Chains A and B, each alone.
Chain A
Amino acid sequence: MRVSMKVDGVTYEDEVEPRTLLTHHLRDGLGRVGTPIGCDTSNCGSCTVSIDGESVKSCSVLAVQAAGADITTIQGLAEGSEWHPVQKAFQQHHGLQCGYCTPGMIMASVDLLTRNPSPTEDEVRHGLEGNLCRCTGYQNIVKAVLSAASELRGEGPIAGSFRDADEPVPATSGASS
């Protein structure tokens, strides 16, 4: 089938098999490999992208179902070289280690903050329950999202989880939070 869709600002028109998953079309068909695949049961969230402004697991959608859609992946989130506040916050709060869950986690967080600009810690945890991370234990991801929320509300980023930014930490610091 002939399918046209806009991905990260570029319109592509391609012949795709009806059974092709959107995630495979993005990766293998269009070479948008910034969105990785972590499972085959739509449980991990690694493949999350934004379709017409809503976050969707791209492995749970067929490419043909996304015909005519406007899709943003992690590769199209930054404005040129200016990262989205959520991207910045993930680095600042060390919300990633191996980074495999990160594209999906960031896309899901952006969507969460669109729907709820002032989430509590608990709301962030529940809002991201469809995205698994095996490296971070989630605490720094939650901090990153709360900080990005504050930034997006125009209140500036929240204080870092680590004493401060790049400052050396005293030899025997207490609790870090």
Chain B
Amino acid sequence: MTEQLDAGLVAQEIAEHPDALSKPYAGGELGRGRRRKEDAKLVTGQTNWTDNITLPGLLHMTVLRSPMAHARILSVDVSAALEMPGVIAAYSGADLADVMGASMPCAWPVTPDMVSPVHTPLATDEVRYVGDGVAVVIARDRYAAADALEAIAVEYDQLPAVVDMEEALKPGAPLVHSEKGTNQCFVFDFPGAGADYAETVKNAGDDAVVVRRRFRQQRLIPTPMEPRGVVVAPIAAADEFTMWSTTQIPHILRIMLALTTGIPEHKLRVVAPDVGGGFGAKLNVYAEEILCLVVARKLGRPIKWTESRSENYQATTHGRDQIQDIEIACTKDGTLLGLKVELLADMGAYLQLITPGVPVLGAFMFPAIYKMPSYHFTCTGVFTTKTPTDAYRGAGRPEATYAIERIMDELAAELGRDPMELRRQNWIKHEEFPYEMVAGLTYDSGNYEAATDKAEQMFDMAGLKAERDRRRASKDPVQIGIGISTFTEMCGLAPSRVLGSLSYGAGGWESASVRMLPTGKVEVVSGATPHGQGHHTSWSQIVADSLGVPFEDVELVAGDTRSSHKGMDTYGSRSLVVGGVAIHKATGKVIEKAKRIAAHLLEANEDDVEFGGGTFSVKGSPEAKLTIQEVALATFAAHNLPDGMEPTLDSDYVSDPENFSYPHGTHLCAVEIDTETGFTKILKYVCVDDIGKIINPVIVEGQIHGGLAQGIAQALYEEAVYDAEGNLTTGSLVDYLVPAAPDLPHFDTGRTETPATSNPLGVKGVGEAGTIASTPAVMNAVVDAVRQYGVNDIDMPATPERVWRAINGEGSARATAGTVAYGGTSTGSTGGAAADEALDDNRSAL
């Protein structure tokens, strides 16, 4: 086609460098199990973690943290620290009071009267949790900065710790923020979109069966393997700053830093370099980010702070921590009448970026996949003297899914029904979509029957049930339990209008730019910042497929507010459903522009030009063709463009989703419980997830596996424990049981494909599905194994000690009686010798 291109540079280039242009597109990019582009640097140790960054004259910051849960600060004396070798500066909260900003932001006032306490990056008057920052040291190296912390003298006047949420709400309880006069942060009341719950149950009269349980969502510590870190480089004379931070949200962070410190937004560049996992814990604006920034501004020197793991456990947000009082009602034939949810949610000592929003997000998920005429949700947020909570993988949805899936099993037990049959009776049938839920959402698509049928087949449900029943009958010391979770979730956060109606401080759109380079290569700029999800690979597949260019020719630009200037970042399983769709639409705009130029160059009517497989061709004249790379080169030269045409193919798109996406699936778990030790072993785990159309099945499966691991860890291993004085007793990886390889089973994964109808790619989010679904599947299996001993609930994590105590009639077991059942939750602190041994077994993996 070169003779049809303009003379000069264009034709000359192609003649001299035929390889300058790309190979033709081979097709089949969507749904293909591409191995990841990002792996090359990761498997060879060439990754750019924040802590790797070093700069001339770099100084190191360390933070002195409160050893007490609650105390008045009487004095902070940094003078001795300043005398230490290598120390450049040391500041108390009071020293930085006029530069560090009035308060760190909470972007989600869930009610108009929410109590929102001042939260300064360093405490100035009181410390309110173990780990609250009190002072900082700046020194020439990290050892000197750590040593000097010990020379800072702080006088405290101890105040009572506030550890228990229910105690905290009682009149006369000690207050976390005395100036607020209450420990209650908010009460969010949501009567659903259906009938009144109490009225509905009353009207059913004698036909109503009601089951109540109290479930506890223990406190969890997200534990991304990379702790947090910050580096700030100032250009002092220009009052300009570059920050590298281990953050999921460079774009949101930049705005919030500008608003908090008063440094103009355009003078701040925030970069998320390679980030080693986040899971919600890096979805925040943290004290150390502000402190590094204001200290760098004060000293005019680059500053670095690197978190230790012990600091991470105290100073990075925790997750979950709810008490859930759940009541479900149905008629005697098992048809659901409604659901009532009363939550207590632990905020911790302060409100971080979206602390109050996390439990409130759950409001929309409790009814899950079930049809019911009535629903009522209330949530009370409570302050305690503990590390603030915030998003942790799933954020609000795992809590809801756990409660509904657990109580469906309890209801089935009460009715003497098979738990899957009861679910089938009540779930939305595939032909009933789109379906308007009692919680107000409209589910666009789903097929719960297909996913369940497939999962049961992979699981060998009949065989496992037979074995379970045999062991029950023979009183085998090792019992089997079978657990189900037929979950759905809302993800792809989120339609901006919906976020607005929930009083969230921003929208939920995502931005993309597609840049065609002169040689036909493509840069795709995304506002969704990756931290392990494989965006480089998946986005390359989307671009390759729509532009018809080779996968290898696409490069992702992300995670830097200077080069990807606009974005809402990565959380809530939103990258593909919002960000990926934006990319897809931006490529559409590139093709539109290229088509006009191709028509002009081919001297054809635009309506006669077709595009496919990366090539523009003219209907009826097969030899009149131009590849998109040739058009890119011609556009760059700009010698022969249509009159008035801008010489660029580059295009932007900002996509605001019209609805959430609703992945669903059926997870089945079989556990073996040694009734003599209380030890639980997962025998078999099968999950069939329906996440719609798939871009890359390899990456999808990885996301499911990782999600399952975190959900199973909540069920069996992990718990952040505070003692009565408010000390975190699980303050390191020694005491907090992040599972290692021997602690997890092999997962059998399968999928069904019901495309989402709310976006053009038909995709749904996948990042959180495994975590959301797996916790109740495991716990339902644990309870199923021991229900024969009169147990109807066990607190998470189901440690050998707790299971042993439940079997032996202590602690958390209460028998179900009559039509109204109550669950118990208390657990003791010591177990039998056998239980201790099993507990040790469990820990030995670490």
Interface residues, chain A, CB within 8 Å of chain B? 17, 19-20, 24, 27-28, 31, 33-41, 43-44, 46, 73-75, 77-78, 83, 87, 90-92, 94, 96-103, 106, 121-122, 124-126, 128-142, 161-169, 171-177
Instruction: Give 1 or 0 for each of B456-490: 1 = CB within 8 Å of chain A CB.
Output: 00100000000000000000000000000000000
Quick one: which of B35, B51, B740 contacts A94, CB cutoff 8 A? Answer: B35
| Interface residue? B112 (CB, 8 A) | no
**Cβ 8 A contact of A75, one of B34, B44, B276:** B44
When C-beta atoms are compared, the residue in chain B nearest to A170 turns out to be B31
Known: A87-B43, A128-B740, A162-B698. A46 touches B225 (CB 8 A): yes
Q: Is the CB of A35 within 8 A of B741?
A: no
With a 10 A CB-CB cut-off, give which of A90, A121, A175 has the most chain B CB atoms: A175
When C-beta atoms are compared, the residue in chain B nearest to A86 turns out to be B43
Q: Tell me if A124 and B705 are in contact (CB < 8 A).
A: no
Are A97 and B702 closer than 8 Å at their CB atoms? Answer: yes
CA A20 to CA B747, docked complex, whole Å:
42
**A176→B143 contact, CB < 8 A:** no
Residues on the A chain within 8 Å of B274, using CB: 99
Query: Is there an interface contact between A99 and B47, defined as CB atoms closer than 8 Å?
Result: yes
Cβ-neighbour of B702 out of A87, A92, A94 (below 8 A): A94
Do the beta carbons of B733 and A92 come within 8 Å of each other?
no
Tally B residues with Cβ within 8 Å of A: 76
Cβ B279 vs Cβ A134 within 8 A: yes
* Cα of A174 to Cα of B687 in the assembled complex, Å: 11
Q: Kindly report which residue of chain A lies nearest to residue B393, judged by CB atoms.
A: A134
B274 vs chain A, min Cβ distance (A): 7
A100 cross-chain contacts in B, Cβ below 8 A = 49, 224-226, 276-277
User: Given that A100-B276, A132-B733, A165-B33 are contacting pairs, would A74 and B44 also be in contact in the complex, using a CB cutoff of 8 Å?
Assistant: yes
Q: Are B734 and A41 in contact (CB under 8 A)?
A: yes
Kindly provide the distance from the CB of A122 to the nearest chain B CB, expressed in whole angstroms.
Answer: 8
* A-B pairs with beta carbons under 8 Å apart, 7 shown: A36-B51, A99-B276, A134-B706, A134-B709, A138-B705, A172-B752, A174-B454
Name the A residues within 8 Å of B746 (CB-CB).
Answer: 121, 139, 177
In the bound complex, do residue A91 and residue B39 qualify as a contact, i.e. CB atoms below 8 Å apart?
yes
Contacts of A138 in B (CB 8 A): 705, 709, 740-741, 744
* Chain B residues positioned under 8 Å from A97 (CB to CB): 277, 532-534, 702-703, 706
Q: B44 contacts A34, CB within 8 Å?
A: yes
Asked if A176 and B706 sit within 8 Å, CB to CB, the answer is no
Q: How far is the CB of B264 from chain A (nearest CB, A)?
A: 33
Contacts of A78 in B (CB 8 A): 44
Residues of A within 8 A of B308 (CB): 39-40
With known contacts A136-B705, A163-B33, A169-B694, A34–B732 Cβ distance under 8 A: no
Interface residues of B (CB under 8 A from A): 28, 31-36, 38-47, 49, 51-52, 54, 141-143, 223-227, 274-277, 279, 308-310, 454, 458, 531-534, 686, 694, 697-699, 701-703, 705-710, 732-734, 738, 740-742, 744, 746-753, 770, 845-846
Could you tell me the distance in whole angstroms from the C-beta of A81 to the nearest C-beta in chain B?
10
Q: Contacting A40 at CB < 8 Å: which of B40, B309, B749?
A: B309
Cβ-closest chain B residue relative to A39: B309
Question: Most chain-B Cβ atoms within 10 A of its Cβ — which of A43, A99, A139?
Answer: A99
B697: nearest residue on chain A (CB-CB)?
A169
State whether B43 touches A90 (Cβ < 8 A): yes
Docked Cα-Cα span, A169 to B541, in Å, equals 14
Contact B45 A98 (CB under 8 A): no
Q: Which of B45, B142, B309, B751 contacts A34 (CB 8 A)?
A: B45
Q: Which residues of chain A are within 8 angstroms of B747 by Cβ–Cβ distance?
A: 137, 139
Which residue of chain B is the closest to A81 with respect to CB atoms? B44
Chain B residues near A38: list those with CB within 8 A: 225-227, 309
Q: Could you tell me if B702 and A140 are in contact, using CB atoms closer than 8 angstroms?
A: yes
In the complex, which residues of chain A have a beta carbon less than 8 angstroms from the beta carbon of B534?
97
Q: Of B39, B701, B733, which is in contact with the most chain A CB atoms at under 10 Å from its CB?
A: B39
Given A44-B309, A73-B45, verify A20-B143 contact (CB < 8 Å).
yes
CA distance in complex: A133, B743 (Å): 12
Decide yes or no: A41 and B744 within 8 Å by CB, A96-B39, A136-B702 being known contacts. Answer: no
Q: Is there an interface contact between B701 and A94, defined as CB atoms closer than 8 Å?
A: yes
A94 to B39, CA, bound (A): 9
B223 is contacted by which of A96, A134, A161 (Cβ under 8 Å)? Answer: A134
**A132 near B225: Cβ-Cβ < 8 Å:** yes
Chain A residues with Cβ below 8 Å from B141 are: 28
User: With a CB–CB cut-off of 8 A, which chain A residues contact B707?
Assistant: 137
Q: B732: which A residues are within 8 A, CB to CB?
A: 39-41, 43
Which of B38, B279, B751 makes the CB contact (< 8 A) with A173?
Answer: B751
Which A residues are CB-close (under 8 A) to B38?
A: 99
Minimum CB–CB distance from A134 to chain B (whole Å) comes to 5
CB of A168 within 8 A of CB of B28, answer: yes
Q: Distance in Å from the Cβ of B372 to the closest Cβ of chain A?
A: 30
In the complex, are the beta carbons of B749 and A167 less than 8 A apart? no
Residues of A within 8 A of B279 (CB): 134
Contact of B275 among A39, A41, A98, A167 (CB under 8 A): A98
Contact B43 A131 (CB under 8 A): no
Which residues on A sit within 8 Å (CB–CB) of B225? 38, 44, 46, 98, 100-101, 132-135
Evaluate contact between A99 and B46: CB separation under 8 angstroms. Answer: no
Given the known inter-chain contacts A98-B277, A134-B223, A172-B751, please indicate yes or no for A33 contacting B49, CB distance below 8 A: yes
A124-B741 in contact given A38-B309, A40-B732, A137-B747 (Cβ < 8 Å) = yes
Residue of A nearest to B35 (CB): A91
Cα A31 to Cα B699 in complex, Å, equals: 32
Q: Is the beta-carbon distance between B697 and A139 smaller than 8 angstroms? A: no
Contacts of A166 in B (CB 8 A): 32-35
For the complex with contacts A36-B51, A98-B531, A176-B697, 13 further pairs of A-B residues with Cβ separation under 8 Å are A36-B47, A38-B225, A38-B309, A97-B533, A122-B742, A131-B740, A132-B738, A138-B744, A140-B702, A140-B705, A165-B33, A175-B458, A175-B749
Cα A100 to Cα B52 with chains together (Å): 12
User: With a CB–CB cut-off of 8 A, which chain A residues contact B694?
Assistant: 169
Judge whether B44 and A87 touch: CB under 8 Å.
Answer: yes
A133 to B143, CA, bound (A): 28
In the assembled complex, the Cα of A87 lies from the Cα of B45 at a distance in Å of 11
Residue pair A94, B31 in contact (C-beta under 8 Å): no
The residue in chain A whose Cβ has the minimal distance to the Cβ of B746 is A139
Q: In the assembled complex, which residues on chain B have CB atoms less than 8 Å from the CB atom of A175? A: 458, 686, 748-750
Chain A residues contacting B224 (CB-CB under 8 Å) are 98, 100, 134
A134 to B226, CA, bound (A): 10
- Distance of A78 from chain B, by nearest CB (Å): 6
A75 touches B46 (CB 8 A): yes
* Residues on the B chain within 8 Å of A17, using CB: 143
A122 contact set on B, CB distance < 8 A: 742
**Contact between chains at B698 and A34 (CB < 8 Å):** no
Contact residue among B39, B41, B697 (Cβ-Cβ distance under 8 Å from A90):
B39
- A40-B310, A98-B224, A169-B694 known; A34 vs B46 contact (CB < 8 Å): yes
Interchain CB contact under 8 A, A41 and B43: no
Q: Inside 8 A of A169's CB, which chain B residues have their CB?
A: 31-33, 694, 697
Are A75 and B45 in contact, CB atoms less than 8 angstroms apart?
Answer: yes
Cβ-closest chain A residue relative to B693? A171
Q: Does A168 lie within 8 Å of B702, measured CB to CB? A: no
Contacts of B44 in A (CB 8 A): 34, 74-75, 77-78, 83, 87
Known: A100-B49, A175-B750. A137 touches B733 (CB 8 A): no
Which 7 residue pairs of A and B lie closest in terms of their CB atoms, listed nearest first? A34-B45, A98-B532, A100-B276, A99-B42, A137-B709, A137-B705, A74-B45
Contact partners of B142 in chain A: CB under 8 A? 24, 28
Closest chain A CB from B702 CB (angstroms): 5
Residues of B within 8 A of A137 (CB): 705-709, 744, 747, 770
Contact of A136 with B706 at beta-carbon distance under 8 Å, contacts A17-B143, A126-B742, A129-B740 already known: yes
In the bound complex, residues from chain A placing their C-beta under 8 Å from that of B223 are 134
Chain B contacts for A74, CB-based, 8 A: 43-45
